[in-house]
Structure 1
Amino acid sequence: MTDRRMTMLDATRDQAAPTIRPGEGRLAHAPASHPPVRQARIGVLLANLGTPDHYDYWSMRRYLNEFLSDKRVIDYASWKWQPLLQLIILTKRPFTSGANYKSIWNHDKGGPKGESPLMTITKDQTSALAATLKDNFGDQVMVDFCMRYGNPSTASKVRAMVAAGCEKILFFPLYPHYAGATSGTANDAFFRALMQEKRQPAARTVAEYFDHPLYIDALARSVERAYAQLDHRPDVLVASYHGMPKRYLMSGDPYHCQCQKTSRLLRERLGWDKGSIDTTFQSVFGPEEWLKPYTVEHVAELAKQGKKRIAVMAPAFSADCIETLEEINGEIREAFEHAGGESFTYIPCLNDDAAHIAALAAVIRDNLGGWL
């Protein structure tokens, strides 16, 4: 073959070769026409409950429909539940829920429409964890977040991670305690997203971390910090957890037991006597019996018993949201004050506090074992 012909063939190969973009590479033994391959990375995908895109009627209706149609959340037979949901609940509830969201909405974040506090905080947590893991592992790890309901969806973020070259994904539901209606349904959405991928990444899910020493320590620090700012020590600390129907507990859901253990471990870490922390459950929905005592009733009873100063925290929430900012600091506060309570202190969720980020990063590092 002449030198001229060899030069022409080389030029033809170069023209046929696809452009290589940052983060891509060429397989060592592949022909020049082979498409570029993303450099292998590991994805860490954080997942939270979700948020409506806005507090207007139709945004709220779409969000509530997705949430309340989840069989993990409401497990009634569809022929019974869906007519009630579509014809009655979703006709009225978007107005009341929208008004509640409007009262806490971040109008100066997230573009022209703003965004919910949960969205703002989840973004901050993701940025903090990405910085921490970059310090640990460099560019090998990609960190992002998704929402179980609303946007960004789990499927869209799994797709983005696969497209970015993530051959392994660690899925992390940001719920300290396991419940089918929280961690379980988040995992369901992740597994369904994997079903859509032609080349599935290896996958792991992070288990509940309700008794992790760093998580308990972060909770204790938040209590100590809040109490240090008060003139008078509260008579009791109420640990208010999101509720669930009692029959879920009776059918094997471990959530209730895990909440009780968190309260005990927190009390022991603080060095307090038994009876100094009350465990209660909020956000009751529907006619059946839920886990008791109900927070809204319990705080009123405390006031009637002469405990005029209380503090309330929400250990089951990794980020402040409608259930904490509006329900606890609104409805539950009002119930306490209406019953004669004088001082109500809400202790914020751990959010992007440094101790919380350190705890979450430790959980992630534990679960990346063998991958890095």
Structure 2
Amino acid sequence: MNPSCIGVILAQIGTPDAPSAKAVRPYLKRFLSDRRIIDYHPLFWQPLLRGIILRTRPRRSAKLYQEIWMEEGSPLLVHSRAQQAALQALLGSSYQVELGLAYSTPGMAEAFRKLEASGVTRIIVLPLFPQYSSTTTASVYEAASFAALGRHSRYGQVSKRFVPALRFVEAYHDAPGYIAAMQSLLQRQIRAMSEEPDYYILSFHGIPRRYAETGDPYPQQCQETARLLAEAMGWTPERWQLSFQSRFGPETWVGPSTADTLKELHGRGIRRPLIFSPGLVTDCLETLHELAVEGRDLFVMGGGNAKMLEVAPCLNDTGEWISFLAGLVDCSAQGWHPSVAAAAASEQPL
């Protein structure tokens, strides 16, 4: 037991336990039942979800997962575990780092149980989403709050008497360390190529346009991230663009669409594009299949050469990225950590 230790929860959305329809179905059910993700009234949405979507989509999604599944398991979970281990090693014994997924295991409640079993009473929740969105960051904030309170919902039964102190890390879409970590990753990727790309696509996960129009700042933060990264890379405006991927359902989503963009590149005279997803910091289905497999097919459909499209990996557990996360944690722990408090006190005039 180390009561002075500060808990850190690396928060992610989640992933199925296996690449099978049986495993994908409960994951999708939890994910698509969250009204921050799909905000339709349950009386309308739940019959559609249970009666149609969960009868057909799990089989299709399972086939996609099978194509990217790693020997150690789900790519998102494997890379998230690597991020957890690297951050723990860098922060040292004054912190205890756990992984908390909003819609799968290891869940947020499990992360809190591990920390509290170690005597931790102060916890920093670090969403692995650089850009704030009500569909990701807010969902994680909510899941962490319920887990801390010992509830399953706002009106659920209270199961805990003691609630730990919580601090939530805010969006860091424009943080210099985050931009620098992506810059280093892309520079290494480009140096390893036989020929430099002639165009760059920065693809972010999309959200319905209606969400943005009613207050979600996500698209603006994506635009700022893209601008800062392009500036750091020295790209002129005609050499890059921003796009949004992963459209779901009949609503209009923020654009331009990554899928449409990939189909149009060859017709615009672009032969060697590179695509990178700044908002997804951990390789997962959306990067390994939607971009690297389906995206390549779309590029070919538009007349491009499949071998000429490069897809950069996510930040995953690269050193610059983990160092940046450690800095975020240390900043959030100000006033909590005894060494920080002692150092601050020693600087005060007598």
In 2, Cα distance between the equivalents of 1:208 and 1:355? 18
In 1, Cα distance between the equivalents of 2:3 and 2:181? 36
**Which residue pairs with 1:246 in the alignment?**
209
DSSP-derived class of the 2:36 partner: coil
Instruction: State the Cα distance separating 1:281 from its structure 2 match.
Output: 0.2
Q: Answer whether contact 2:3 2:121 (CA < 8 A) is retained.
A: no
In 2, Cα distance between the equivalents of 1:303 and 1:364? 44
Question: 1:193-212 counterparts in 2 under 5 A?
Answer: 193-196=147-150, 197-212=160-175
Cα displacement string for residues 31-56 of structure 1 (whole angstroms, at most 9, x for unaligned residues): xxxxxxx6332101111110111122
Higher relative contact order (CA 8 A, sep 6+): 2
Question: 1:272-351 counterparts in 2 under 5 A?
Answer: 272-342=235-305, 343-351=308-316
Instruction: State the Cα distance separating 1:99 from its structure 2 match.
Output: 0.6
Larger radius of gyration: 1
Q: Where do 5+ consecutive residues of structure 1 fail to align?
A: 1-22, 24-37, 110-114
Question: 1:85-96 counterparts in 2 under 5 A?
Answer: 85-96=49-60
DSSP-derived class of the 1:285 partner: coil
Instruction: State the Cα distance separating 1:370 from its structure 2 match.
Output: 1.1
Verify: 1:123 aligned to 2:81, yes or no. Answer: yes
TM-score by length of 1: 0.86
In 2, Cα distance between the equivalents of 1:271 and 1:331? 29
Q: Where do 5+ consecutive residues of structure 2 fail to align?
A: 151-159, 338-350
In 2, Cα distance between the equivalents of 1:41 and 1:353? 25
Instruction: State the Cα distance separating 1:319 from its structure 2 match.
Output: 0.3
In 2, Cα distance between the equivalents of 1:191 and 1:157? 12
In 2, Cα distance between the equivalents of 1:56 and 1:273? 44
Question: 1:105-144 counterparts in 2 under 5 A?
Answer: 105-107=69-71, 109=72, 115-134=73-92, 139-144=93-98
In 1, Cα distance between the equivalents of 2:269 and 2:200? 14
In 1, Cα distance between the equivalents of 2:128 and 2:162? 26
Amino acid corresponding to residue 166 of structure 1 in structure 2:
V
In 1, Cα distance between the equivalents of 2:3 and 2:38? 42
Q: Answer whether contact 1:308 1:340 (CA < 8 A) is retained.
A: no
Equivalent pairs, count: 326
Question: 1:45-194 counterparts in 2 under 5 A?
Answer: 45-107=9-71, 109=72, 115-134=73-92, 139-194=93-148
DSSP-derived class of the 2:135 partner: helix
* Identical residues among aligned pairs (%): 39
Amino acid corresponding to residue 362 of structure 1 in structure 2:
G
In 1, Cα distance between the equivalents of 2:265 and 2:43? 42
TM-score by length of 2: 0.91
In 2, Cα distance between the equivalents of 1:328 and 1:287? 21
